[in-house]
Amino acid sequence: MTKDNRTREALINENYGLVHSCANKFRGRGVEYDDLFQAGCVGLIKAADNFDPSRGFAFSTYAVPVILGEIRRIFRDGGAVKIGRTLKEKSRNAMKVREQMAAELGREPTISELAQKLGTDVSSAAELITVSMPTISLTATDDEKGSGQLDIPTPAPEGEITEKMALRSVVEALEERDRRLIELRYFKGLTQVKTAAELGMSQVQVSRREKAILLQMRKSMM
């Protein structure tokens, strides 16, 4: 086995925890955890194959978005609601009746009028009409335009997950004293004066060092 292959295998074997962390964020959304984990592993392998350590950031920072992308693919490719043939036929008939009524009335019929014409209740009539409407996608991306879906822009939680995991990776890569400073200031919410007392530094030293660390972290996350 070559050195590159050994490095690849090490990246994969040492980072299954990333896959579990990403997959756990999607529990309870209608997809089995094993399927989520399997998709995440595909992303981990892709990340290991394409990771370039010369760019100066941690593997986890690069891998998390790739893993999440593979998991999201499950919902894009297989998340549509399946509708039975009988219901589809009833829906097509309801749409024909609706069009006939619209022509006769000179306006769109109300759901109550349509229900009466179909000989059913209002909720059933509403269901039949909505079955024939385009699917509303909450996760559609730009490459899915023209797919016959109506897209509703919604903030993707994966972006926040990615940022948090990338931030954690960058913080963990800091030297111990710098990591302690950031933890005291931004995780425990201490003032620079109290942080200085904890670390045996002056407030001015904490202020200067904090700015330098934040700049370093920003560069790493970019």
- Which CATH number covers residue 65? 1.20.120.1810
Residue 149 lies in a domain: no
Residue bearing tokens 């919410």: 189
- Do 45 and 97 belong together in one domain? no
**Distance from C-alpha of 137 to C-alpha of 167, rounded to nearest angstrom:** 30
**Structural domain boundaries enclosing 192:** 174-221
Would you state the pLDDT for residue 95? 86
Mean pLDDT for 205-210 is: 92
- Tell me the pLDDT band of 155, cut-offs 50, 70 and 90: very low
Q: Which two tokens stand for residue 145?
A: 């335009």
Residues 194 and 213 occupy one common structural domain: yes
100-109, 147-156, 185-194: least confident range: 147-156
- Which tens digits make up the pLDDT trace of 46-86? 888 888 887 777 888 888 888 988 888 887 765 444 455 67
Residues 216 and 196 in one domain: yes
Report the CATH number at residue 108: 1.10.10
- Whether residues 8 and 68 share a domain: the answer is yes
Report yes or no on 59 lying in a domain: yes
Domain count, the chain: 3
Q: Is residue 167 part of a domain?
A: no
Residue 163 covered by a domain: no
Q: Are strands 136-137 and 150-151 parallel, antiparallel or unpaired?
A: parallel
| 9 shares its domain with 68 | yes
User: What per-residue confidence (pLDDT) applies to 196?
Assistant: 93
Q: Is residue 71 part of a domain?
A: yes
Provide the pLDDT for residue 217. 81
What dihedral angle (degrees, nearest 10) is formed by the CA atoms of 194, 200, 204, 209? -100
Q: What is the pLDDT of residues 162-174, one digit of tens each?
A: 566 677 777 888 8
Q: What is d(CA 107, CA 103) in angstroms, rounded to the nearest whole number?
A: 7
Compute CA 192 distance to the chain's CA centroid, rounded to the nearest angstrom: 35
Average the pLDDT over 203-208 and give the result.
92
Q: Alpha carbon of 188 to those of 64, 164, 173, 196, 204: distances in Å?
A: 26, 16, 19, 14, 20
Provide the terminal-to-terminal Cα distance of the chain, rounded to the nearest Å. 33
Residues 74 and 105 in one domain: no
In a domain, 32, yes or no: yes
Residue 197 has pLDDT above 90, yes or no: yes
CB 109 within 8 A of CB 98: yes
Stretch 203-210: mean pLDDT: 92
| pTM as predicted | 0.40
Is residue 140 one of the residues assigned to a domain? no
Is the dihedral angle over the CA atoms 109, 111, 113, 114 positive or is it negative? positive
Is 143 contained in some domain? no
Same domain for 59 and 99? no
User: Tell me, what's the pLDDT at 144?
Assistant: 46
> What percentage of residues in the chain have a pLDDT greater than 90?
12
Residue 200, pLDDT score: 93
Do 37 and 75 sit in the same domain of this protein? yes
Same domain, 17 and 37: yes
Same domain? For 13 and 63 the reply is yes
Q: Under a CB-based contact definition with an 8 Å cutoff, are residues 85 and 105 in contact?
A: no
